[in-house]
Amino acid sequence: MRDAAKYIAVLRLSARETFRARGEVFARSVFMVILLVVFSRLWAAVGEGAGLAGIGPAQFLWYLALTEWVTLGIPLFYLSIEEDVRRGDVAYRLARPVSYVWSKLAEGLGQVLVRLVVLGIVALAVGRYLAGSWPDPRALLCALPLGVLACVVLLLIQVLIGLSVFWLHDGAPAFWMIQKFQFVFGGLFWPLDIYPGWMQSIAAWTPFSAAVYGVGRNALRYEPEVALRTAMILVLWIGILGALVAWAYRRSLRVVEVGGG
Amino acid sequence: MSDLQARLTGVRGTLRFLGALVSTNLKASLALRGAFWARVFFMFVNNFIFLVMWWVFFERVDDVRGWKLADTAAVYGVAAGSFGLAVIFGNGVQYLARQIYEGDLDSVLSQPKSVLLSAITSHSEPAGWGDLFSAAVLFAVCGYVTPGLIPLCLVLCASGAILFLSTGVLISSTAFWLGNMQSISRQGFHFLVIFSVYPSTIFRGWLKVFLYSAIPAGFVTFLPVSLLREFSWLKFAAILGAAVVYAGIAVLVFTLGLRRYESGSRFGVRA
- Which pLDDT score is estimated for A192? 92
pLDDT tens per residue across span B116-142: 988 888 888 888 999 999 999 999 999
**Residue A51 or B227, more confident:** B227
For residues A165 and A80, the answer to whether their CB atoms sit within 8 Å is no
Share of chain A above pLDDT 70, in %: 95
- Which pLDDT score is estimated for A90? 73
- Which pLDDT score is estimated for A2? 65
Q: How many CB atoms lie within 10 A of CB A136?
A: 14
Confidence of residue A50 (pLDDT cuts 50, 70, 90): low
Phi–psi pair at B63, nearest 5 degrees: -160, 160
For residues B139 and B74, the answer to whether their CB atoms sit within 8 Å is yes
User: What's the mean pLDDT in A37-49?
Assistant: 82
By Cβ distance, the residue of A35, A174, A194 closest to B60 is A194
Mutation target for A interface from B44, B46, B75, B91: give the one with most A CBs within 10 A. Answer: B46
For residues B130 and B44, the answer to whether their CB atoms sit within 8 Å is yes
- Which pLDDT score is estimated for B73? 94
CA distance linking residue B96 with residue B167, whole number of Å: 12
Q: How many CB atoms lie within 10 A of CB A223?
A: 14
**Average pLDDT value over all residues in chain B:** 86
- Which pLDDT score is estimated for B271? 47
Question: B153 vs chain A: nearest CA distance in angstroms?
Answer: 26
Q: Do A183 and B50 touch (CB under 8 A)?
A: yes
Whether residue B267 is contained in a domain is answered as no
A28, closest residue in chain B (CA to CA) = B187
Asked which of A5-14, A108-117, A234-243, B154-163 is least confident by mean pLDDT, the reply is A5-14
User: What's the mean pLDDT in B72-96?
Assistant: 92
| Interface size, chain A vs chain B, as Cβ–Cβ contacts under 8 Å | 97
Share of chain A above pLDDT 90, in %: 44
Checking if the pLDDT of B94 tops 80, the result is yes
B69-90 vs B3-31: helix axis angle to the nearest 10? 100
Q: Do A172 and B39 touch (CB under 8 A)?
A: yes
Confidence of residue A258 (pLDDT cuts 50, 70, 90): low
In the Cβ-directed half-sphere of B148, how many Cα atoms lie within 13 Å? 1
- Which pLDDT score is estimated for B152? 94
Asked which of A133-142, B75-84, B185-194, B199-208 is least confident by mean pLDDT, the reply is B185-194
Mutation target for A interface from B36, B57, B76, B181: give the one with most A CBs within 10 A. Answer: B57
Checking if the pLDDT of A260 tops 70, the result is no
Range of the domain at B251: 3-258
Share of chain B above pLDDT 90, in %: 34
* Residue B233 neighbours by CB under 8 Å, 6+ apart: none
Q: What is the DSSP letter of A209?
A: I
By Cβ distance, the residue of B46, B61, B195 closest to A52 is B61
Whether residue B252 is contained in a domain is answered as yes
**Average pLDDT value over all residues in chain A:** 87
Asked which of A18-27, A61-70, A99-108 is least confident by mean pLDDT, the reply is A18-27
* Residue B181 neighbours by CB under 8 Å, 6+ apart: A23, B97, B101, B171, B172, B174, B175
DSSP states along A77-132: HHHHHHHHHHHTHHHHHTTSSS-HHHHHHHHHHHHHHHHHHHHHHHHHHHHHHHHS
Residue A184 forms contact with B (CB below 8 Å): yes
Confidence of residue A49 (pLDDT cuts 50, 70, 90): low
3-state per-residue secondary structure call for B170-227: HHHHCHHHHCCCHHHHHHHHHHHHHHHCCCHHHCCHHHHHHHCCCCCHHHHHHHHHHH
Q: Do A53 and B201 touch (CB under 8 A)?
A: no
- Which pLDDT score is estimated for A48? 66
Q: How many CB atoms lie within 10 A of CB B234?
A: 8
Question: A177 vs chain B: nearest CA distance in angstroms?
Answer: 6
CB proximity under 8 Å: A 15-74 to B: 23-24, 26-28, 30-31, 34-35, 37-38, 41-42, 44-46, 48-50, 52-53
First and final C-alpha spacing in chain A: 30
Q: Do B195 and A34 touch (CB under 8 A)?
A: yes
For residues B144 and B70, the answer to whether their CB atoms sit within 8 Å is yes
Question: B126 vs chain A: nearest CA distance in angstroms?
Answer: 11
Q: CA torsion A83→A89→A94→A95, rounded to 10°?
A: -160
By Cβ distance, the residue of A28, A34, A196 closest to B59 is A196
From chain B, which residues contact A within 8 Å (Cβ)? 32, 35, 38-39, 41-43, 45-46, 49-50, 52-53, 56-57, 59-65, 127, 180-184, 186-187, 191, 194-195, 198-199, 201-204, 207
**Residue A198 or A258, more confident:** A198
pTM of the model: 0.81
* SS3 at position A50: coil
Q: Do A183 and B53 touch (CB under 8 A)?
A: yes
Alpha helices in B32-68 (DSSP H): 33-60
**Residue B13 or B264, more confident:** B13
Checking if the pLDDT of A1 tops 70, the result is no
pLDDT tens per residue across span A167-193: 877 788 788 888 888 988 999 888 998
User: What's the mean pLDDT in B81-87?
Assistant: 94
Query: Radius of gyration of chain A from Cα atoms?
Result: 19
Phi–psi pair at B178, nearest 5 degrees: -100, -5
- In 3D space, the residue among B246, B250, B270 whose CA is nearest the CA of residue B258 turns out to be B250
Q: Do B65 and A48 touch (CB under 8 A)?
A: yes
A55: left (phi over 0), alpha (psi -120 to 50) or beta: beta
For residues A63 and A220, the answer to whether their CB atoms sit within 8 Å is yes
Cα–Cα–Cα angle for A14, A230, A174, nearest 5°?
55
With b for 16 or more beta-carbon neighbours within 10 A and e for fewer, the B18-29 pattern comes to beebeeebeeeb
Whether residue B271 is contained in a domain is answered as no
Query: Radius of gyration of chain B from Cα atoms?
Result: 19
- Which pLDDT score is estimated for B244? 96
Alpha carbon B123 to its chain centroid, in Å, reads 14
For residues A238 and A156, the answer to whether their CB atoms sit within 8 Å is yes
CA distance linking residue A124 with residue A47, whole number of Å: 22
* Residue A28 neighbours by CB under 8 Å, 6+ apart: A72, A115, A119, B187
Single-letter code of the amino acid located at A12: R
Confidence of residue A157 (pLDDT cuts 50, 70, 90): very high
Whether residue B264 is contained in a domain is answered as no
CA distance linking residue A121 with residue A141, whole number of Å: 14
Whether residue B216 is contained in a domain is answered as yes
pLDDT tens per residue across span B21-60: 878 888 887 887 887 888 888 888 888 888 888 898 898 8
User: What's the mean pLDDT in A126-147?
Assistant: 92
Chain A positions touching B57 (Cβ under 8 A) are 189-190, 194
**Residue B268 or B134, more confident:** B134
Residue A222 forms contact with B (CB below 8 Å): no
CA distance linking residue B188 with residue A31, whole number of Å: 9
Number of independent structural domains in chain B:
1
- Which pLDDT score is estimated for A22? 75
Checking if the pLDDT of B7 tops 80, the result is no
- Which pLDDT score is estimated for A24? 75
